[in-house]
Amino acid sequence: MTLRTPTRSRLGATPLLVSGAVLLMVGNIAHPIDADPTPLSRLELATGSGWILIHGVLALGFLVLTTGVVIVGRQLAHERSATPAHFATTAAIVGGILLVAVFGALDGYAISELARSEAAAETIHAAAVAEEAIDSGLAAIGTLAFFGLAVGALGVAIVRDRSQRRWVGWSAVVIGGVGTLAGATLLTQGPTSFSINVMLRPVAVAGTLWFIALGFALRGRSETGARQGRALPAP
């Protein structure tokens, strides 16, 4: 009889989760803080030479991180944790796609093009207001889906799976609840100092650190299981 060993997919999620989270950390650290977010203030910030690069790093981070979440969600999709795992995978894909589009196309490229435009000031201002509305709406839904519903559901799946320490799952449930609230706040209030700097940024930081912790927890679990599998003789 062949002993069951940890699947490579779970161990393979570790570099994706960690590298995706690190990319988000680098992008957020490099991103300038807007004390009073408005369409015009973003236009001023977007004139910086590194604006597109910073947002490209953030978009790549969400793409890599979403892939890692999908791998973990599929690994957890068995009887006990199937429903929350499938829900987490779906929410992560939806939220990840939206956030990649927001940071890569809208908040990165589009606003930078507006900042460099030579059109009349009234035209640029109207376009910036429209872009801000679309950007904020998609970012709010993406945040709610990714850092809210996906992280929370993944935490429930981990708790039910019982293959990880319970704090890993319960901390995700808490972060997911706050992330859902942050996304809803951004959706209802728009980009304000409170919704961005008080709600969204702390949730993003907490979620990013949690993904790093999850990555190392998965790696530690896989290495422990591998050692036990080698140590126990097959009957």
Write out the chain's pLDDT in tens, 235 residues.
Answer: 333 334 445 557 899 999 999 999 999 899 887 777 777 778 888 887 789 999 999 999 999 999 999 999 998 888 789 999 999 999 999 999 999 999 999 988 988 888 888 777 788 888 888 888 899 999 999 999 999 999 999 999 999 987 778 899 999 999 999 999 999 999 999 888 898 888 988 999 999 999 999 999 888 655 544 444 444 344 4
* Residues 106, 56: Cα–Cα separation, whole Å: 11
157 in a domain, yes or no?
yes
- Neighbour count for residue 201 (Cβ, 10 Å): 15
31 in a domain, yes or no?
yes
229 in a domain, yes or no?
no
Domain tally, the chain:
1
* Residues 91, 69: Cα–Cα separation, whole Å: 10
148 in a domain, yes or no?
yes
Domain span at 53:
8-219
Q: What is the pLDDT of residue 11?
A: 57
DSSP alpha helices (H): ranges in 76-195? 82-101, 111-116, 121-143, 151-161, 166-189, 193
Identify which of 137, 126, 141, 102 has the alpha carbon closest to the alpha carbon of residue 43: 126
30 in a domain, yes or no?
yes
DSSP state of 233: P
Q: What is the pLDDT of residue 233?
A: 41
Q: What is the pLDDT of residue 221?
A: 58
231 in a domain, yes or no?
no
224 in a domain, yes or no?
no
Q: What is the pLDDT of residue 220?
A: 66
Q: What is the pLDDT of residue 4?
A: 35
| No. of helices (H) and no. of strands (E), the chain | 10, 0
129 in a domain, yes or no?
yes
